[in-house]
C-alpha cells in the first residue's frame, strides 16, 4: 500500500479533537494536510500516548508556548510558516529546547535533510513511510528523551544529596565552633558574674544593631550574636591584680590592659572558619575608634570591620550603664549624652543613629536583669 492509498483509507476515520489517548507522554503532530494528520494519529493511537495535532506551523508554535510535549512530528512544506521556521520558533522557547522534533517530508534532497538536523531535529522521515517505521522511530526518540530526563533528574538528585551532605558538614563545623566559644565564655565567666551578664547584654545589643544595619543580613545577625561574647576573651591573659583592680589603672597598667585585644589572637589561631574569624575580628577591633584614636592599630572609619564597630558601641553602652569595681553606673541620660557626643569620633555615626532610632529596644536589653544561656 502506498502513502497516498493509506491517506485515502484513513481519511474516512472520524477523530474527535485534540486528545486521542490519555497518558503522561504527549506527542504533537503538525501537517497542513488533514489526511496526513489522520494517518499519523491512526498509526500512533495504539501506542497509548496522548496525541495532539495542528494544521499549520504558526498554530503549532502557539500551542507549544502554552503546552509542553514529549515529541513533535513536524511536516516541512507548509504555507505561511515552513516546518523549518516552525522548528526555529519552537526551539527559541527555553522550555522546548530539549523537545525532540522529527521532520516528516517528501523532500529527499541532502540539503533539506541536513538543514533539518542543523535546526535541532533529532530525525528525518521521508514520505511515503511504513507505519512500523513511524512507530519504531517515535518510540526510539521517546525512550531517548525519557532516558535523558531520568539522567538529568538523577544528576539533580545527586547534586542535592551532595549539597545536603555539605550543609550537614558545615552545620557540624559551625556547631563545633559555637561549642568552642561556649567553653571560652565559661572561662571568662569564672572571672566574675558581672562579666557573664555583660557579655550577654552586649551580644543582644550587637545583634539588634546588626538587624537594623543595611549592610548586614540575617546570617550576619547570627554570626555577630554568637561571636560578640568573645570581645573580651583576651582578658583571661591579663593579670588578676590589674583586671580586678578596684581603682583607676595607672598608665603602665592600662598599657597592659590594652594588650587584651591582641592577646585574643592566641585563642583564635589564623582560621577561615567564619564564626571564629568573626570572633577574632571583634576581639581585636572593638576598642578601635571611628576617628582613628583607638587601639591596638589606630584604625579609622570603615577600616574598622563593621562587626568591630558594632560591638564597640554595644560594649561601651552597656558598660556605662552598669556598675564596675572601679566605677559607679552612669545614669541613662548621661550615658546617652556621651554616646551622642562621641558620634563620629568614637562611634560609627550610622550605628549611633540606629541606637537612637530604636532606643526603647536597646534600653530593654541593658536594663534587663535576666540571666540566660546564649
Q: Are residues 279 and 134 in the same domain?
A: no
pLDDT of residue 89: 94
Q: What total number of domains does the chain contain? A: 2
Tell me which residues are annotated as active site: 235
Q: Are residues 208 and 72 in the same domain?
A: no
Q: Are residues 235 and 112 in the same domain?
A: no
Does some domain include residue 108? yes
Query: What's the CATH code of the domain at 107?
Result: 3.40.50.2300
Does some domain include residue 181? no
Q: What are the CA-CA distances from residue 279 to residues 194, 259, 276, 309, 349 (Å)?
A: 21, 16, 5, 13, 23
User: pTM for this one?
Assistant: 0.53
According to DSSP, residue 304 is labeled S
Q: Are residues 109 and 217 in the same domain?
A: no
pLDDT single digits (tens) 209-264? 999 999 999 989 999 998 898 888 888 778 778 887 888 889 998 998 999 898 88
Which helix (DSSP H) or strand (DSSP E) does residue 318 occupy? helix 306-320
Q: List strand residue ranges (DSSP E) for 79-154, in order.
A: 101-105, 123-126
Q: Are residues 269 and 324 in the same domain?
A: yes
Q: Are residues 145 and 282 in the same domain?
A: no
What domain range includes position 214?
191-366
Domain boundary among 132, 157, 182: 157
pLDDT single digits (tens) 58-114? 999 999 999 999 999 999 999 999 999 999 999 999 888 889 999 999 988 888 888
Q: Are residues 225 and 317 in the same domain?
A: yes
Report the pLDDT averaged over residues 343-366.
96
Does some domain include residue 195? yes
Show the CA angle centred on residue 134, arms to residues 131 and 139, nearest 5°: 125
Q: Are residues 210 and 313 in the same domain?
A: yes
Amino acid at each position: 500500500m502506498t502513502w497516498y492509498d493509506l491517506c485515502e483509507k484513513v481519511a474516512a476515520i472520524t477523530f474527535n479533537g485534540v486528545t486521542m489517548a490519555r497518558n503522561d507522554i504527549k506527542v504533537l503532530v503538525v501537517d497542513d494536510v488533514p489526511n496526513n494528520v489522520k494517518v499519523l494519529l491512526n498509526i500512533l493511537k495504539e501506542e497509548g500516548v496522548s496525541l495532539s495535532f495542528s494544521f499549520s506551523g504558526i498554530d503549532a508554535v502557539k500551542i507549544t508556548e502554552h503546552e509542553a510535549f514529549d515529541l513533535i512530528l513536524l511536516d516541512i512544506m507548509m504555507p505561511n510558516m515552513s516546518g523549518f521556521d516552525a522548528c526555529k520558533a519552537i526551539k527559541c522557547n527555553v522550555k522546548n529546547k530539549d523537545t525532540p522534533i522529527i521532520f516528516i517530508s517528501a523532500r529527499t534532497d541532502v540539503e533539506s535533510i541536513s538543514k533539518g538536523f542543523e535546526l535541532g531535529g533529532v530525525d528525518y522521515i521521508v514520505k511515503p513511510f511504513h507505519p512500523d517505521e513511524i512507530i519504531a522511530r517515535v518510540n526510539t526518540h521517546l525512550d531517548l528523551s525519557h532516558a535523558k530526563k531520568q539522567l538529568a533528574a538523577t544528576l539533580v538528585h545527586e547534586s542535592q544529596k551532595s549539597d545536603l551532605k555539605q550543609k550537614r558538614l558545615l552545620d557540624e563545623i559551625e556547631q563545633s565552633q559555637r561549642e568552642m566559644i561556649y567553653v571560652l565564655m565559661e572561662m571568662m565567666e569564672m572571672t566574675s558574674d558581672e562579666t557573664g551578664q555583660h557579655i550577654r547584654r552586649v551580644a543582644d545589643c550587637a545583634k539588634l544593631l546588626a538587624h537594623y544595619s543595611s549592610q548586614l543580613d540575617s546570617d550576619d545577625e547570627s554570626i555577630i550574636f554568637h561571636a560578640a561574647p568573645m570581645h573580651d576573651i583576651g582578658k583571661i591573659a591579663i593579670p588578676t591584680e590589674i583586671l580586678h583592680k578596684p581603682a583607676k589603672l595607672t598608665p603602665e597598667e592600662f598599657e597592659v590592659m590594652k594588650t587584651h585585644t591582641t592577646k585574643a589572637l592566641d585563642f583564635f589561631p589564623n582560621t577561615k572558619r567564619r564564626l571564629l574569624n568573626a570572633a577574632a575580628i571583634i576581639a581585636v577591633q572593638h576598642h578601635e575608634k571611628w576617628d582613628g584614636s583607638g587601639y591596638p592599630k589606630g584604625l579609622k572609619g570603615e577600616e574598622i570591620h563593621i562587626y568591630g564597630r558594632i560591638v564597640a558601641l554595644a560594649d561601651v553602652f552597656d558598660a556605662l550603664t552598669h556598675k564596675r569595681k572601679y566605677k559607679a553606673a552612669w545614669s541613662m541620660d548621661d550615658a546617652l549624652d556621651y554616646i551622642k557626643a562621641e558620634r563620629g569620633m568614637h562611634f560609627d555615626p550610622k550605628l549611633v543613629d540606629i541606637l537612637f532610632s530604636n532606643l526603647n529596644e536597646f534600653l530593654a536589653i541593658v536594663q534587663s536583669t535576666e540571666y540566660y544561656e546564649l
